[in-house]
Chain A
Amino acid sequence: MEITVAHLKRGQRGIIKEFSNNFIPIKLLELGCLPGNEVELVQVAPLNDPIYINVNGSHIAIRREIALKIALELIDESPVV
């Protein structure tokens, strides 16, 4: 199974891999959600959706359906909270 932003646990980080941009709103790209950039999961909303991430220094909330489209390479040493 491919790891995506939606699979991150709180505090876990990863590097964005190439993604199919058809499903990603351009706004998200402009906020810095681009291949090669680091993503950290900051918070998960009470009903498990949306999620609150820090990507490239931008703090943004996105829905899980979009998060599932952003593939990741996990950064191992990141702590799992």
Chain B
Amino acid sequence: MSKQINVALIGNPNTGKTSVFNQLTGLNQKVGNYPGITVEKKEGVCKLPRGVKAHVLDLPGTYSLNTTSLDESVAVELLLNKNDKDHPDVALVITDVENLKRNLLLFTQIKDLLIPTILVINMADRMSRKGISIDIPLLEEKLQSKVALVSTRKRTGIDRLKELIAEYKNLSKKPNIDISVIAPDYFEKIKNTFPKEESYKLWLVITQDVNFMPVEKKLIQDASAFSTKSKSELKRLQQKETILRYQFINDILKQAYKVDINAAKGFRANLDKILTHKIFGYLIFLLILLTIFQAIYEWSVYPMDMIDTFFASATEWVKDTLPAGAFTDLIAEGILSGIGGIVIFIPQIAFLFLFISLLEESGYMSRVVFLMDRVMRPFGLSGKSIVPLISGTACAIPAVMATRTIENWKERLITILVTPFTTCSARLPVYLIIIALVIPEGTFLGLSYKALTLMLLYLIGFGAAIVSAVILNKILKIKSRSFFVVEMPSYKLPLLKNVVYTVLEKTKSFVFGAGKIILAISIILWFLGSNGFSDDFKNAEEIITQRVTENGFSANSETYIENKLLEYTQGINTTDSPSANNPSGTAIQDSLSLKTTELRGRALNQEIASYKLEHSYMGYMGKGIEPIVRPLGYDWKIGIAVLTSFAAREVFVGTLATIYSVGNDEEETIKYRMAAEVNPITKKPLFNLASGISLLLFYAFAMQCVSTLAVVKRETNSWKWPLGQLVFMSLFAYIVALIAYQLLK
């Protein structure tokens, strides 16, 4: 058996590093276009010629080994630590053919760590269009390395790259540059103290921030004796080093790299002119946002209706096919309605991720950062906060992690704290179902009221984020310097494969991640709802049957029977044409009385079921919290749903589905079930405009997501911030919902 080769991919952001990774390992992952998208550790296995296998690690994107952020330090740490099990036998430096000069800076640094290195020049398909020609043999000679010209878009050059990796033992280990020339005496001293270490490695250790280097702590403590030079002196030396490296690179590229300038410009400049225009820039951004909301609301109606119908009939099928009993009930009412409640939102979530991934892939997201920076600054935010705030519309968890690209700690902290206000996809199910229930039909300027309400909710979330940012900016007394540097990548047509994969991956993880919680909660709720300890629960059937025999049906059931009967008679009248085979009056009479009996039976079952629910465990729990939620216009059932959704917002719909499924024996879908609910006090529909708006606002502001709290804790390294978020946001949500309901009712 042959040994596995450790391969590390390293490169600047926006060089298509992740695409190369996908091509090598066959494991497709997300390719982003704004800095720092590759934050997690990505690894895979690659089969090389002659049965050799390689373990491939995709390191976070970095411009150099002089780390300025936590993400970059991951890469440096691995390259420095020879004892790490992932320490590369060979490093692939991925570069973009258009930015070769800048990309080579990192390459020379890695070469100087004496790691065997292959230079991978990606996006080779753009060469002819951009008028670029490269003398590969000369480049290989000067860099003392091997060069692989690949195009992940056209899938060329990968086989040669694999060949080169397999032959890694033949690679030169010579450094590119002797950096000791920038301060000969200083390096001499260091070298004498640590004769075994390479001077560049020592230099890196000295200049890194101590916090970034836990593995190398010991070495740092020893070496720090030599950081006698002041910080600005070290910085000056770093500048000298950078200049030295660029001199080396420029000398090589002068001979090996030719660009026909006339071919290079045009498309990008023209597009930039429009997309970052004073007026059109914002207009286009707004239009894109509008399109996204219209798509989420209008285009996804059709697949959603299909899913809805499917689950309704599946539930029916299970009930008809399986023998009646607790197990069948569990499947039909607990599990199926729980799953149905989440699956129905797949189309909308998929649309959202589709658009976000298109914006990132195309390079447009960086232009938005550029457009918005000045706009965001008065609020204590940075243009880079836009990326978390927009990806927050998908999910707050990756959004909070995306704040790592913000160099200024205060701007970053504020962004982390306000991001959970943006409307994440978990709120979407809640919004959609309530909007469908309470917002009337109709259009305004070609947009439906419902789509507009949704858009408004997104704006409210965004507004809440901005306002809290202003307040936080005033309150927080943190001094930190702002170093705003954003790379503007060239525009790229998004790769269909990457987009499709992102959508599939994100939707899948949303459905399964949320699905697990929802399923578990659905089953627990079903159990709590269909069991009880009191005599009232156990004797529900007798109590209700007796009550109905003595006092007749409740007003609700009477209306229900009347309506259904009316529907039925109308059905008969329209299907029967006058010339038809003389439907005798008695036949109609018979079928009508038959129907009435059937309906009365159903109404009785419903009354029993709802009486049972009221006296079940869940009923008692719900009644317990009802006083708290009643001022907001909710009954105890909604109260239960709100409570359970503190684990995750989307649980709300699943919970209601389970509750109403238990409480109602009809095959109607969740939406109709909810529409039929009546407020016991006002006798009006429970989900009316006032309670609906109150619920929408509650969900817009409340911090109901355990996972976000966990990630905020991790990113801020303190419980102070997530707990503050939880208390402040939830309290605020309660107050706003209270005011809304009291004003509208």
Cβ of B646 to closest chain A Cβ, rounded Å: 40
Q: Is the CB of B269 within 8 A of A60?
A: no
Q: Is the CB of B242 within 8 A of A22?
A: no
Residues of B within 8 A of A25 (CB): 68, 407, 483, 485
Q: Is the CB of B370 within 8 A of A26?
A: no
Taking CB as reference atom, which chain A residue is nearest B488? A59
Q: Is the CB of A59 within 8 A of B101?
A: no
Q: Is the CB of A27 within 8 A of B485?
A: yes
Residue from the list B102, B276, B485 in contact with A43, Cβ < 8 A: B276
A46 to B98, CA, bound (A): 28
Q: Is the CB of B374 within 8 A of A34?
A: no
Size of chain B's interface in residues, with CB distance under 8 A? 45
| B243 at the A interface (CB under 8 A) | yes
Q: Is the CB of B102 within 8 A of A57?
A: yes
**Contacting residues of chain B (51-80) with chain A, CB-CB under 8 angstroms:** 63-64, 66, 68
Interface size class of A (residues with CB under 8 A): 20 to 34
Q: Is the CB of B482 within 8 A of A60?
A: no
Cβ of A59 to closest chain B Cβ, rounded Å: 4
Q: Is the CB of B487 within 8 A of A60?
A: yes
Stretch at the interface among A1-9, A48-56, A72-80: A48-56
Residue from the list B68, B101, B238, B488 in contact with A60, Cβ < 8 A: B488
A3 to B373, CA, bound (A): 24
The winner among B232, B238, B239, B268 for most chain A CB atoms within 10 A is B239
Residue-wise interface mask of B (227-254) relative to A, using a CB-CB cutoff of 8 A (1 in contact, 0 not): 0000010011011001100100000000
| B105 at the A interface (CB under 8 A) | yes
A56 to B374, CA, bound (A): 25
**Contacting residues of chain B (362-385) with chain A, CB-CB under 8 angstroms:** 366, 369-371, 373-375, 383
Q: Is the CB of A45 within 8 A of B370?
A: yes
| B685 at the A interface (CB under 8 A) | no
Q: Is the CB of A66 within 8 A of B63?
A: no
Contact flag A50-B374 (CB < 8 Å), given A21-B236, A31-B102, A34-B242:
yes
Q: Is the CB of B276 within 8 A of A45?
A: yes
A62 to B483, CA, bound (A): 8
Taking CB as reference atom, which chain B residue is nearest A54? B488
| A68 at the B interface (CB under 8 A) | no
Cβ of A68 to closest chain B Cβ, rounded Å: 13
Residues of A within 8 A of B407 (CB): 25
Q: Is the CB of B278 within 8 A of A46?
A: yes
Contact flag A22-B487 (CB < 8 Å), given A52-B272, A56-B101:
no
Cβ of B262 to closest chain A Cβ, rounded Å: 16
9 pairs across A/B with beta carbons < 8 Å?
A: A21-B235, A26-B238, A28-B485, A32-B101, A43-B370, A47-B374, A60-B488, A63-B373, A66-B484
**Chain A residues near B (Cβ < 8 Å):** 21-22, 25-32, 34-35, 42-43, 45-50, 52, 56-63, 65-66
Known: A26-B242, A60-B488, A62-B485. 16 other contacts (CB 8 A): A26-B68, A26-B235, A30-B63, A30-B64, A30-B66, A31-B102, A45-B370, A45-B371, A47-B375, A48-B374, A60-B485, A61-B383, A61-B487, A62-B486, A63-B482, A66-B483
**Chain B residues near A (Cβ < 8 Å):** 63-64, 66, 68, 98-99, 101-102, 105, 232, 235-236, 238-239, 242-243, 246, 268-269, 272-273, 276-279, 281-282, 366, 369-371, 373-375, 383, 407, 482-490
